[in-house]
Each structure stands twice: as C-alpha cells, then as structure tokens.
C-alpha cells in the first residue's frame, strides 16, 4: 500500500515571498498521479496542481509549481508571490493509475501568509 508523508505540520511566509512545501511518498507502483489540494478555512477542498508520474516535466499552474523527483519519491509544492488568500491547509495526495482506486492523502501542512 502507498503512503504519503508531509513532514512540515506548519509553515509561515511573508506576503509576496516564496515558500516550498514538502511531500514524500512510498509506492511500488510505476504509474500514478500526484496532487496538491488546498483546504482554506471554509474547509472546501480545492485542487491546486497535479502531476503525472510518466511526465518528466514539472507541472505549473500560475504561481504554483512542483518539483517532482520520481527516483527520490519526492513531490514538493512551490508557491511564488504568496498572497493572503493562500493561507490554508495543503494536502499532498497519491493515486495509482491502474491498481485499485485508493486516493491517499498526507497529514497536511498548515500554511499561514503574513501581511
């Protein structure tokens, strides 16, 4: 079974600065997807970005980008030009491409953007 680990329970960053959230995972699968979801105080889960394991190019979505290191099983999220609205809990998640349909989440990182 796969596991997802986020080793930073809390992080803070000043507005307009850059922050990186870490995520590692363990799996025997070769084909899978990785995600970062955001949960603001409203508790509604929002997809931030996703990465296909078979793609070497790192995914980017506006101010959000990932550093995907497949051999190291590492999947970090970089947020550039942080905004107050980025304050939220961030979850890393994993799903295998072909075996089962289990969507597994990490423990989450609470990010606070300070003015």
Partner 1 sequence: DGGITQSPKYLFRKEGQNVTLSCEQNLNHDAMYWYRQDPGQGLRLIYYSQIVNDFQKGDIAEGYSVSREKKESFPLTVTSAQKNPTAFYLCASSISTGFLRGTEAFFGQGTRLTVV
Q: Write out the residues near partner 1 by the rule CB under 8 A.
A: 6, 9, 33, 35, 43-45, 47, 50, 52, 91, 93, 95-98, 100-108
Q: Are strands 109-114 and 10-14 parallel, antiparallel or unpaired?
A: parallel
SS3 80: coil
Taken in order 109, 22, 78, 2, the sign of the CA dihedral is negative
- Shortest Cβ 15–partner 1 spacing (Å): 25
Nearer to partner 1, 59 or 113 (CB): 59
Taken in order 31, 69, 95, 49, the sign of the CA dihedral is negative
Q: Which residues pair with 111 in a beta bridge?
A: 11, 88
- Shortest Cβ 17–partner 1 spacing (Å): 25
Nearer to partner 1, 93 or 113 (CB): 93
Nearer to partner 1, 77 or 93 (CB): 93
Nearer to partner 1, 17 or 102 (CB): 102
Q: How many Cβ atoms from other residues are within 10 Å of residue 60's Cβ?
A: 12
Q: How many Cβ atoms from other residues are within 10 Å of residue 49's Cβ?
A: 20
- Shortest Cβ 16–partner 1 spacing (Å): 28
- Shortest Cβ 2–partner 1 spacing (Å): 11
């Amino acid at each position: 079974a796969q596991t997802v680990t986020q080793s930073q329970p809390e992080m803070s960053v000043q507005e307009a600065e850059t922050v990186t959230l870490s995520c590692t995972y363990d799996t025997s699968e070769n084909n899978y997807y990785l995600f970062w979801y955001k949960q603001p105080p409203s508790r509604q889960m929002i997809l931030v970005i996703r990465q296909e394991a078979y793609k070497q190019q790192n995914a980017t979505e506006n101010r959000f980008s990932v550093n995907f290191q497949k051999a190291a099983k590492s999947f970090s999220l970089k947020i550039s030009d942080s905004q107050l609205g980025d304050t939220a809990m961030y979850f890393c998640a994993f799903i295998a491409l072909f075996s089962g349909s289990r969507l597994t989440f990490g423990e989450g990182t609470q990010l606070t953007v300070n003015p």
